[in-house]
Amino acid sequence: MVVVTGQNKVSGNPDDAMSSSDAEDDFQEPATPTATQAGQALPLLPQQFPEVVPLNVGGMYFTTRLSTLRRYEDTMLAAMFSGRHYIPTDAEGRYFIDRDGTCFGDILNFLRSGDLPPRERVRSVYKEAQYYSIGPLLDSLEDIQPLKGEKVRQAFLGLMPYYKDHLERIIEIAKLRAMQRKARFAKLKVCVFKEEMPITPYECPHFNSLRFERSESETKLFEHHCEVDVSFGPWEAVADVYDLLHCIVTDLSDRGITVDHQCIGVCDKHLINHYYCKRPIYEFKITWW
């Protein structure tokens, strides 16, 4: 009898037919994994670390005690070197951490003896301390300059509605105008005002009484939008217009944007009776290269 499977014909000749032993060879169970294969499949055993630990942090080399890395239990370093996680090593056997090592020495110095970095590196070390979740170092850095002052500054900016949105608008307008004009710089008008209502030396005696006792209808008479690109304000704090201008310039500069500004006058829009808007208008010049 001839059995046809697909395009292959199997003749009835005993010599040509597949023997039962050949069939068994083709369908036998996979071979038992070797010791090497089994080792790759099994989970890694807890890693053992020496008392003196060589480290490679982003290509920079350090050496410290294991107890130093485990100084604070709730940190990432303590978890990494607890033995519960596998840490790769480089060609020289140093334990490798894929992180910029520029400030890692400051991290170790704090873990060793509580030393804090110099002022010029505080922000960078703070960023690394956040990554490694070193709470005591974060608390210490937040109590010194410049981070302590930054906390006060952010508390002030928290009173400013849409502050970050307005910064983005300044950048987008300046970029668009520079690209349209194919120019190196762009100018835009920015209004920065602390008081919702205008106060000038000429109007103070009359205005103050109206300001605190005005009705809703009177309030609407004073509502308007200055003809500028972006407006900041009002806010209720001791910090004045110049303080906010400093914040705007600082935050733009931190983003690599060169900015100059100067006051070019006031809005001077007529509101009601003898009242005019006296909000200061500033010209911002953004230089792109």
The pairing of beta strand 230-232 with beta strand 185-192: parallel
φ and ψ at residue 116, rounded to 5 degrees: -105, 155
For residue 131, the surrounding DSSP H or E stretch is helix 122-131
Q: By mean pLDDT, which of 32-46, 86-100, 212-226, 275-289 is the weakest?
A: 32-46
112-143 pLDDT per residue, tens: 999 999 999 999 999 999 999 999 999 999 99
Q: By mean pLDDT, which of 19-28, 46-55, 102-111, 129-138 is the weakest?
A: 19-28
Would you state the structure tokens that stand for residue 258, as one six-digit string?
A: 């060169």
Q: Does residue 21 have a pLDDT over 60?
A: no
Rounded Cα distance, 98 and 284, in Å? 42
Residue ranges covered by each domain of the chain: 52-144, 158-199+225-287
- The CATH code belonging to domain 52-144 is 3.30.710.10
168-189 pLDDT per residue, tens: 999 999 999 999 999 999 999 9
For the whole model, what pTM was predicted? 0.65
